[in-house]
Amino acid sequence: MAQGYYELKKSTTDTTQPYYFVLKAANHEVIATSEMYKTKQAAQNGIESVQANGSTQTVKDLT
């Protein structure tokens, strides 16, 4: 079974906070784009945070 994945990227236009990541589905569709980070390590920490805190089976319908 194919899984989603993260792409760690560096912006060519923002030099003060150039790092960010995107979360992609198994079909390569973008699911989410992160905020911009000042350092590569900070962006990697952001990925780790999403991995640790993002998985849940609870759906809260706020409609």
Q: In this predicted structure, what is the pLDDT of residue 57?
A: 66
pLDDT band at 1 (very low <50, low <70, confident <90, very high): low
- Amino acid symbol at 57: Q
Closest CA to 32 of 55, 16, 18, 50: 50
Judged by average pLDDT, the poorest of 10-14, 34-38, 53-57 is 53-57
Q: Which CATH superfamily is domain 5-53 in?
A: YegP-like (3.30.160.160)
Give residue limits of the domains in the chain.
Answer: 5-53
d(CA 24, CA 34): 12
Mean pLDDT of the chain: 91
- pLDDT(60) > 80: no
Task: Return the structure tokens found at 5.
Answer: 């994945």
